Amino acid sequence: MIRIAQQVKEREVCQEHKKAQKEGEVVDMIGTLFKEYKEQGKIEGKIEAGRESLLVIFPQKLGPMPAEIESAIRALNDLNRMRNIVAHFMEINNWQQLQQYLN
At residue 2, φ and ψ (nearest 5 deg) are: -65, -40
Q: For the chain, which residues make up each domain, given as ranges?
A: 2-102
Nearest Cα to 72, choosing from 94, 88, 95, 92?
95
Reduced to 3 states, what is the DSSP secondary structure of residue 93?
coil
Asked if 62 and 95 touch (Cβ cutoff 8 Å), the reply is yes
Q: What is the pLDDT of residues 61-92, one digit of tens each?
A: 999 999 999 999 999 999 889 889 988 989 99
Q: What is the pLDDT of residue 69?
A: 97
Reduced to 3 states, what is the DSSP secondary structure of residue 63?
coil
What is the rounded distance in angstroms from the CA atom of residue 57 to the CA atom of residue 49? 12
Q: What is the pLDDT of residues 1-50, one digit of tens each?
A: 566 666 666 677 666 666 656 656 666 766 676 676 667 778 888 888 88
